[in-house]
Chains A and B, each alone.
Chain A
Amino acid sequence: MRKLLLCTALIVVLAAFLYVSINPADFGYSTGDHLVFGHPRYVDMDDYFIHNGQNQTGANNIVTSIVFDYRGFDTLGEASVLFTAVLAVGMVLRALRRDAK
């Protein structure tokens, strides 16, 4: 039963990916005869970052300017996740050590 479920899920995912790769025009731009993949339809925000990122933050690396400036809250969450992971590792291993004694 579980194997059947897994196979069904796999086939559904495979069909979705195949559909996207056969009809990329539904998910991106098509330039002339060629259906170009990787051209997103909504590019307003990308254009804003590319044109204003260097002036507003002064960083050449636009990825860094997005990660640390425009989307700083996300990075704060990542740092907190690492901090929490260290806390959890310390707690678990300390408790195991006390058990061993």
Chain B
Amino acid sequence: MMSKIVRTQANFLYPLIMIFGFYIVAHGHLTPGGGFQGGAVIATGVALIAVAYSYKNVKTWIKKTRLTATEAIGLLTFIITALLGISRSFFYNWLANTGLLFGQPVPYGINPGYLNTAGTLPIMNFAVGIEVLGGLGVIIMYYLHYIKEVSKNAV
């Protein structure tokens, strides 16, 4: 476990990193960024917590199995969303301009950016963001676990 200064800073930064990451994921169809980048930002928060507090504490809060399940759910959601438009083609945008969820038509040209647009793109952004969060998080946890094992055997 790191010193109190580092832990206080981590406590302060962790919600900000989470909010920023989810903002990037949620606004992937309006602003630069998207699922991959936002998921990587959220995984940085996991890494920050894992560094500030020791792995021994963190492994009870963030479970590897749950991260793996999150990753699988993200990839499955991505593929299922793509498959639902199979009547036209794989990866057909079946929600755009329908007036349903995320189906608001968008005017051509410069506009303020409406969140309720772009059809399947926000769903896919969320799916990929969840998948990247789970994948990178579980890689971090695996590495920390392995470092722990090696240092225990060495000493």
Binding site for B on A (CB under 8 A): 54-61, 63-65, 67-69, 72-73, 75-76, 78-80, 82-83, 85-86, 89-90, 93, 96-97, 100
A19-B72 Cα distance, complex, nearest whole Å: 48
Q: Is B9 an interface residue (CB 8 A)?
A: no
Residues from chain A with a CB closer than 8 A to the CB of B72 are: 83
Give Cα distance in the complex from A43 to B24, angstroms. 30
Whether A82 contacts B135 by the Cβ 8 Å rule is: yes
- The B interface, classified by DSSP as helix, strand, loop or mixed, is helix
Q: Would you call A68 and B138 a contact (CB within 8 A)? A: no
**Interface pair B75/A93, CB less than 8 Å apart:** no
B58-79, CB < 8 A from A: 68, 71-72, 74-75, 78-79
Contact with A along B77-88 (1 / 0, CB 8 A): 011001000000
Give the distance to chain B from A92, nearest Cβ to Cβ, in Å: 9
Question: Residue B20 at the A interface, CB < 8 A?
Answer: no
Task: Specify which chain A residues have a CB less than 8 angstroms from the CB of B104 in the assembled complex.
Answer: 58
A-B contact pairs, 29 of them (CB 8 A): A55-B97, A57-B118, A57-B119, A58-B103, A58-B104, A58-B117, A58-B118, A59-B29, A59-B30, A60-B30, A60-B106, A60-B111, A61-B31, A64-B118, A64-B121, A65-B118, A68-B128, A69-B93, A79-B131, A80-B75, A83-B71, A85-B139, A86-B135, A89-B138, A89-B139, A89-B142, A96-B146, A97-B149, A100-B150
A58 touching B30 in the complex, CB below 8 Å, given contacts A68-B124, A76-B82: no
Complex interface: chain A residues within 8 A of B21 (CB)? none
**A82's contact among B91, B131, B150, by CB below 8 Å, is which?**
B131
A69 to chain B, nearest CB (A): 5
Q: Which residue of B lies closest to A52 (CB)?
A: B108
Chain B residues within 8 Å of A, Cβ to Cβ: 28-32, 34, 36, 68, 71-72, 74-75, 78-79, 82, 90-91, 93, 96-97, 102-106, 108-109, 111, 113, 117-121, 124-125, 128, 131-132, 134-135, 138-139, 142-143, 145-146, 149-150, 153
